[in-house]
A and B are shown apart, each in its own frame.
Chain A
């Protein structure tokens, strides 16, 4: 796969289902670009992305959008919540987009898991940084996607919150057998992953399985 921004990036690689992968590398190396390409957000200039045997970018725009909705969970460093929707609405956004009924049980489960019980009606500006990030994770988990992609999810949080978030993600990864890919600068977090991929100048410089 190639992405054209300011330089060539090539990623020949395969990820296993249920794998927890950490991607590390210096700024500008192309980590976020890779993440977005994997998530069906940013189409590669050339090359392909295969998921579960299908070519992700062979789909049209409409299909791609639905793919993102149901198959991918995206978490960003800056929480990117819709400021005018409350916690419940932000979490259930992918379901609401589908026009389907919200699974109340699943929602309850998530709210409990994310320790957001009692804050269902709060707007983002009424939450702390850690709480906002948890909402973000909730949204990513709501549809139980096959892949969770997190771009520096703890970059804006203190160490206590950071660890809590990583625990949540790991829990989800183990419980739902979701493939989890996290971009991080934090060595501690990277070392908790099953596999570390290091990227530099658009190329994979290291691909190490730490844990089986």
Chain B
């Protein structure tokens, strides 16, 4: 082995503690780099998985294609996989929602096996079809009142197990999907159409799937009930929608341009598209939506930057110390003939050695750390991913790849090399003479250093010495002070950020306080009440309310409006008076709930439940964000709690009819399918005839929205009446009424499921059940997750900084061994030495806090401003807690390092230390 290598290895072995601390520093920064890289990579994978779940696992699509063109695709070497949807045909159901509408059609599409794997046809129940007599049916059937229409038409229920007889045709006006609606090969279609018209097919429903909303596979218009069967469409139209995956995703755009160029005749009528949602995650480019990947890389770069910065500070310091300690050694080697290159290589070798140990261990540490973190947070991640999509089973998991490991190793190695670079340059510059004399290391400044008298008074001579030493060798202590400063700033900033986040979230959440809401409509009160009776008793529900609600406008005289609110109103009333108009919603809440509410809040039940003189409570808080002042203003719309006259107005559809169009100043209403009476199919009414105007009395203003009058009604006024006063307030005109059921629960998940079950059992529509508590939980979980990552990051950076401080201080002390021995030999006792070192500690800690605290407070102020500009309203509070924690930690680290290092020194015999050459 090369002698220089041997010297380096032995030197490294000799300074066990410093070597260990440096290796730990390398490990920590590698671990951090790896964790960050892996987290970001996991995000990208998650995004990709989500994209696949939502839009499917394919790159490009072309349609309509004949079998020949499909085969061409399959044979192309650039194509990895091809799977097709084929049109089998349409079948009339004979059911209409309205007389004016077209009747619903079954649209049967054949899909091969790969389609079910790669396209987002997610089963809600049942299974996939296994042959061409089985179908799965789209859940569209259960929406848009299609199932009601079926029932109304006497066709009963269809579901899993049902068989459907279909007379198949091809309807070329409908086409298959957006893509296919442009000029399909009419001739061929007509041919096929005449072939299969009148073909009878019987299908068995084996599953229900969630209708995907992607235009490339949107099948026709909303009157189609889509059904998927297994197989190709050779029995049908012979036209295909071909999805394909390229071997290299990035080339799909070019491929489509080349092979499906619309200028070529054979491509006439063929449309193509790319799966942009998935391609956005393709690292090989493609039609990448740079946005997401860019933000990931941007965040990654910033975080990497911080890590590298902090790590370089530590590792650089370690090498600087190493060089400094070996100054004499390098000088000696230089004097007996070592070249600069050889000296440089020694440091490079040291860097390599420490990397070889530190980096692999760091990767391992990082893997364990981030693995444990992900596992611990997995339930919280789940609540968040479920929020994104109710039925989305894509979990946010840890993904590790070899590329990520390689990148981490390279970045870590780069960090170490960068850190060793300056010290190695310095080492080369050491002149043999300087080194031998060792005069270079302590380059004291020549200028006069004044020490304030107070230091002498408090700390005596030791203090003065400490002060002089500190001031004359600033460079040496720069690293220590800088590391501490960085940790303090990062810690306090992270604290300010997470606190601000929590406060703004709580402020946002604070306005609503209900757990679950269910919105639906009924034709009559009895049905609503019947359901309410059942829902009240759902599992874990402890309070429930049933309210009918109507959205309308309200006019009130200027006199009763709060002057502050004057600017809110921009609408002019129909009557063009001095009245002010505001959008409102009126709630008619069940009497029991209302009575309890009045009692709990000290309102007079007689006053507010008097059928002779109905009076509403109002929640009239208006929130406005002022960009100029960066503040949110809140005020009441009405100026007092006294009784006020308010005129409400709205328009309605007559019972049994639905609004269709406007012609000649009159509104045309058509009979609904439910209206089985002898009423005319259409009626014409003027606006005034369908217009309601009514005076109501409004009383006390509420400052908190009650749980039974909630919803998406920001900046609107809410009036609340008991249900019993419904008819005296607003006469019933309409054909259906909107209801809101709200619940408070001890376990929102259980209640949500129970409520859903009850609704389904009663034959209701479970689409608009809203688990608000879940959203709150989701946001809270987000905050926890952000906190975990933020603090985890800070803690590790701080450990790196602490290691740095330890290294610097302990080595500086070691280098001053002779000096301490000299001081002891001329009579300074242990107490004096201690005082000197304690004072030095105060100087380090003090200096870093002197810069760190004001700058951190400034950063905290800007963070607070940032939150407020994003629509929060939090007053700025100085992060005292964080400041105290960081100050305490700084002094703990500094003092404990000092105590540890001095322990060795104190055992020295001063004379031996002075004489000993081999220190």
A binds B: yes
A residues bordering B, Cβ < 8 Å?
Answer: 36, 39, 41-42, 61-62, 65-70, 74, 76, 78-80, 82-85, 89, 93-94, 96-99, 124-125, 139
Determine the chain B residues whose CB is within 8 A of the CB of A82 once the complex forms: 7, 329, 332-333
Please report which residues of chain B, range 440-457, place their CB below 8 angstroms from some CB of chain A when the two chains form the complex. none
A41 touching B432 in the complex, CB below 8 Å, given contacts A62-B341, A66-B337, A78-B917: yes
A68 touching B433 in the complex, CB below 8 Å, given contacts A84-B14, A96-B3: no
**For the side of the interface on B, what is the size category?**
20 to 34
6 closest Cβ pairs, A-B complex:
A69-B337, A84-B10, A96-B3, A65-B339, A68-B337, A42-B433
Task: Report the bound CA distance from A113 to B431 in whole Å.
Answer: 32
Q: How many A-B residue pairs have CB under 8 A?
A: 76
Question: In this assembly, does B338 line the interface, its C-beta being within 8 Å of a C-beta of chain A?
Answer: yes
Are B332 and A80 in contact, CB atoms less than 8 angstroms apart? yes
B334-363 contact mask (Cβ, 8 Å, vs A): 1 or 0: 111111111000000000000000000000
Determine the chain A residues whose CB is within 8 A of the CB of B338 once the complex forms: 65, 69, 97
B-side interface mostly: helix
Are A93 and B6 in contact, CB atoms less than 8 angstroms apart? no
Task: Report the bound CA distance from A41 to B333 in whole Å.
Answer: 11
Are A84 and B339 in contact, CB atoms less than 8 angstroms apart? no
A41 touching B335 in the complex, CB below 8 Å, given contacts A62-B341, A93-B3: yes
Choice from A41, A97, A125 contacting B342 with Cβ under 8 Å: A97
A93 touching B336 in the complex, CB below 8 Å, given contacts A79-B917, A84-B10, A84-B11: yes
Task: Report the bound CA distance from A84 to B6 in whole Å.
Answer: 9
Task: Report the bound CA distance from A192 to B617 in whole Å.
Answer: 119
B314-345 contact mask (Cβ, 8 Å, vs A): 1 or 0: 00000000000000110011111111111000
Choice from B6, B13, B340 contacting A61 with Cβ under 8 Å: B340
Q: How many Å from the CB of B912 to the closest CB on chain A?
A: 12
A65 touching B340 in the complex, CB below 8 Å, given contacts A39-B335, A42-B432: yes
Are B6 and A68 in contact, CB atoms less than 8 angstroms apart? no
Q: List 18 A-B contacts (CB under 8 A).
A: A42-B432, A62-B339, A65-B334, A65-B342, A66-B339, A68-B336, A79-B917, A80-B436, A82-B329, A83-B918, A84-B6, A89-B6, A94-B336, A94-B337, A96-B3, A97-B337, A97-B338, A139-B336
Q: How many Å from the CB of B46 to the closest CB on chain A?
A: 52
Q: Name which residue of chain B comes closest to A132, CB basis.
A: B917
Are A36 and B433 in contact, CB atoms less than 8 angstroms apart? yes
Task: Report the bound CA distance from A100 to B701 in whole Å.
Answer: 98
Determine the chain A residues whose CB is within 8 A of the CB of B341 once the complex forms: 62
Task: Report the bound CA distance from A80 to B11 in whole Å.
Answer: 15
Are A89 and B432 in contact, CB atoms less than 8 angstroms apart? no
Task: Report the bound CA distance from A39 to B338 in whole Å.
Answer: 14
Determine the chain A residues whose CB is within 8 A of the CB of B433 once the complex forms: 36, 41-42
Determine the chain A residues whose CB is within 8 A of the CB of B337 once the complex forms: 65-70, 94, 97-98
Are A124 and B918 in contact, CB atoms less than 8 angstroms apart? yes
B894-919 contact mask (Cβ, 8 Å, vs A): 1 or 0: 00000000000000000000000110
Q: Name which residue of chain A comes closest to B328, CB basis.
A: A80
Determine the chain B residues whose CB is within 8 A of the CB of A83 once the complex forms: 14, 918
Q: Name which residue of chain A comes closest to B916, CB basis.
A: A125
Q: How many Å from the CB of A68 to the closest CB on chain B?
A: 4
Given contacts A62-B340, A96-B3, 4 further A-B contacts (CB under 8 A): A65-B342, A84-B7, A85-B10, A97-B4
Q: How many Å from the CB of B430 to the closest CB on chain A?
A: 12
Determine the chain A residues whose CB is within 8 A of the CB of B431 once the complex forms: 42
Q: Name which residue of chain B comes closest to A95, CB basis.
A: B3
Determine the chain A residues whose CB is within 8 A of the CB of B13 once the complex forms: 84
Q: How many Å from the CB of B418 to the closest CB on chain A?
A: 25
Task: Report the bound CA distance from A130 to B14 in whole Å.
Answer: 25
Task: Report the bound CA distance from A69 to B268 in whole Å.
Answer: 84
Task: Report the bound CA distance from A36 to B328 in whole Å.
Answer: 16
B162-195 contact mask (Cβ, 8 Å, vs A): 1 or 0: 0000000000000000000000000000000000
Determine the chain B residues whose CB is within 8 A of the CB of A36 once the complex forms: 432-433
Q: How many Å from the CB of B185 to the closest CB on chain A?
A: 80
Determine the chain A residues whose CB is within 8 A of the CB of B917 once the complex forms: 78-79
Determine the chain B residues whose CB is within 8 A of the CB of A97 once the complex forms: 3-4, 333, 336-338, 342
Determine the chain A residues whose CB is within 8 A of the CB of B333 once the complex forms: 82, 93, 97
Task: Report the bound CA distance from A39 to B335 in whole Å.
Answer: 9
Determine the chain B residues whose CB is within 8 A of the CB of A74 once the complex forms: 335-336
Determine the chain A residues whose CB is within 8 A of the CB of B7 once the complex forms: 82, 84-85
Determine the chain B residues whose CB is within 8 A of the CB of A65 once the complex forms: 334, 337-340, 342
Q: Name which residue of chain A comes closest to B8, CB basis.
A: A84
Task: Report the bound CA distance from A42 to B432 in whole Å.
Answer: 7
Determine the chain A residues whose CB is within 8 A of the CB of B432 once the complex forms: 36, 41-42
Determine the chain A residues whose CB is within 8 A of the CB of B6 once the complex forms: 84-85, 89
Determine the chain A residues whose CB is within 8 A of the CB of B334 once the complex forms: 65, 68
Q: Name which residue of chain B comes closest to A129, CB basis.
A: B917
Q: How many Å from the CB of A110 to the closest CB on chain B?
A: 15
Q: How many Å from the CB of A123 to the closest CB on chain B?
A: 9
Determine the chain B residues whose CB is within 8 A of the CB of A139 once the complex forms: 336
Task: Report the bound CA distance from A97 to B338 in whole Å.
Answer: 7
Determine the chain A residues whose CB is within 8 A of the CB of B11 once the complex forms: 84
Task: Report the bound CA distance from A94 to B337 in whole Å.
Answer: 7
The residue in A61, A80, A85, A94 that gathers the most chain B C-beta atoms within 10 A of its C-beta is A80
Task: Report the bound CA distance from A93 to B337 in whole Å.
Answer: 9
Determine the chain B residues whose CB is within 8 A of the CB of A80 once the complex forms: 328, 332, 436
Q: How many Å from the CB of B175 to the closest CB on chain A?
A: 81
Are B339 and A89 in contact, CB atoms less than 8 angstroms apart? no
Q: How many Å from the CB of B567 to the closest CB on chain A?
A: 80
Task: Report the bound CA distance from A75 to B5 in whole Å.
Answer: 24
Task: Report the bound CA distance from A87 to B880 in whole Å.
Answer: 60
Q: How many Å from the CB of B179 to the closest CB on chain A?
A: 72
Q: Name which residue of chain A comes closest to B428, CB basis.
A: A61
Q: Name which residue of chain B comes closest to A98, CB basis.
A: B337
Task: Report the bound CA distance from A82 to B432 in whole Å.
Answer: 14
Determine the chain B residues whose CB is within 8 A of the CB of A78 once the complex forms: 917
Task: Report the bound CA distance from A42 to B337 in whole Å.
Answer: 13
Determine the chain A residues whose CB is within 8 A of the CB of B14 once the complex forms: 83-84
Please report which residues of chain B, range 1-24, place their CB below 8 angstroms from some CB of chain A when the two chains form the complex. 2-4, 6-7, 10-11, 13-14
Q: How many Å from the CB of B91 to the closest CB on chain A?
A: 90
Are B335 and A125 in contact, CB atoms less than 8 angstroms apart? no
Task: Report the bound CA distance from A59 to B2 in whole Å.
Answer: 26
Are A125 and B918 in contact, CB atoms less than 8 angstroms apart? yes
Task: Report the bound CA distance from A39 to B433 in whole Å.
Answer: 11
Task: Report the bound CA distance from A97 to B340 in whole Å.
Answer: 12
Q: Name which residue of chain B comes closest to A142, CB basis.
A: B336
Task: Report the bound CA distance from A96 to B336 in whole Å.
Answer: 11
